[in-house]
Structure 1
């Protein structure tokens, strides 16, 4: 079987991490969409595995968490009755945790927005940190129990609750957000510094995700059709963001700032995370008997 060169794979990955759809990438790379999809699956799996093992003992001191909405297959209101409640069909949420100092995405998870998902996400975050941290989340109530389970009293934790006015009433403003009229801070555990109670960085990362992954674009037909491919795209995005993209403020990548990498990763290095398959051993040639 013919395999694409590292340079060809890196070019396709470059299209994907800059927000192109699979079909657009296949047209520009002059290859089939199945090739692009297979590459996303292989590289996304490798990126998830690499970051799971590498993002450990992180020196984070201030962490912000949030959840970003998307959907797979169909919007929740259009999910068929026989698939109601099935994960990966309808609403899907991506949980993210960003370090306010190094800007590294320390942990992420694709799931629903319930308590079980919050427990799994916060437990994973806690296992990646080397220091006591100050944590800020939004007012989603499931965080309280999840943080208590994962950190106990060894954390300085506060919620930043945003207060909104009434939603848009006219058809011209149906896609505009409600008016933000204020915020309220709630201390949950420890002694969080009021000056650092913020979710600004993680909310800005939400915009980066929507700009960098076509399937997160609102009001389009670019939504994910399979939840597994959705997860692979998220893993690729964070690999490029953490290791391969120089942060404009830091002037290095978040992984370099956090001390888990010593250089800027190229797209070719990311593509090379997928090992070439081992050649299959061939048995001795046997000539087939011919008919008399």
Structure 2
């Protein structure tokens, strides 16, 4: 007998994993050994990553949100011993993700440390999957500016939303640990590159995606025993979750999946279809960056040559006043005289010259008289001053 799970049992295991069940809980539910579940989950996750690389490319996402999410592998950061543990594969692991706000599609993700290398890897992957210049929104982390400028150019509309926290008294009757809680006082929006629209700068889509990831992926939950013990399985679990959300899940405020909204597929994928496609997906190449098209802005605009952008009409200045509407029929109100036929007011001290049809910018004008100062000593008898 081949050492392979039946298709029905594999589907049960996959359904348990994508709905937030840990490996040991899936073992109790399905009767499959935890080591077998771990190997199967890794195979599904790696196949989902290859499937994502092949299908999620050439996207037109007008609004892109980027954020990072904390997790850890094997041991916590404060328990990390360089002599016993690998600092790269253990300790804190951050899930960097980018989402299209309009379609709710997770464009790219990266698992690594919270450093410049991870930020560069994520932004480079996002750039390779887009064909239209987006408006990018991140939090106040300073690691994003350099890779965004290097991959999208400094003309990309990029804005940061910074949350300002403050300490405030906790609820009455709570313990000393929760006597003081932190809250968001206000959110500050800062323009980094380009001319983004502040009304469209927000991180609610990626933050809601992070919350869904913690709910549906047991490896990301805090204060549990379901954390990952190996980095390879942790990355596979992240890939399996995001691929399932993109192709199989319909968000609450939508009627189609994110992959359908982005034009990647035309139907809702079943769990069986996702499992078969992930296990059969061969190794392929990563997407390559394509030329970016700058979308036409709202309102009147004129394209610049060589696709360099657009000239927009900016509000301001004084537009010529529209001519008055004619009076209704039967009204005794006289018709207004057009501005061209109205007599121009005569300026004081203006030289009256016959009209020649051309204005003389060097025409002579009399200078105003200087005020005469009265002498208080005029008319004295001795003529002294």
User: TM-score, with normalisation over the residues of structure 1?
Assistant: 0.90
Gaps of 5+ in 1: 277-292
User: Deviation of residue 83 (structure 1)?
Assistant: 4.8
Distance 2:33 2:85 in 1: 33
Distance 1:255 1:217 in 2: 26
Alpha-carbon contact 2:136-2:158 (below 8 Å) kept: yes
User: Deviation of residue 216 (structure 1)?
Assistant: 0.9
Instruction: Map 1:208-247; keep pairs closer than 5 Å.
Output: 208-247=212-251
Alpha-carbon contact 2:159-2:189 (below 8 Å) kept: yes
Provide the alpha-carbon RMSD of the alignment: 1.8
Q: Give the length in aligned residue pairs.
A: 275
User: Deviation of residue 151 (structure 1)?
Assistant: 0.6
SS at structure 1 position matched to 2:167: coil
Once the two structures are superposed, what CA deviation does each residue of 1:161-180 show, in whole Å capped at 9, x if it has no partner?
11111388964328x86211
> 1:5 matched to which residue of 2?
6
Instruction: Map 1:1-292; keep pairs closer than 5 Å.
Output: 1-83=2-84, 86-166=87-167, 171-173=176-178, 178-272=182-276, 273-275=278-280
Distance 1:167 1:18 in 2: 36
Specify whether residues 116 and 102 from structure 1 end up closer, same or farther in structure 2 by C-alpha distance, changes over 3 A only. Answer: same
Alpha-carbon contact 1:132-1:154 (below 8 Å) kept: no
Once the two structures are superposed, what CA deviation does each residue of 1:222-252 show, in whole Å capped at 9, x if it has no partner?
2111111110000000111000111211111
User: Deviation of residue 114 (structure 1)?
Assistant: 0.6
User: Deviation of residue 275 (structure 1)?
Assistant: 3.3
Alpha-carbon contact 2:47-2:280 (below 8 Å) kept: no
Distance 2:181 2:75 in 1: 22
Structure number with greater Rg is: 2
User: Deviation of residue 2 (structure 1)?
Assistant: 3.4
Distance 2:37 2:143 in 1: 37
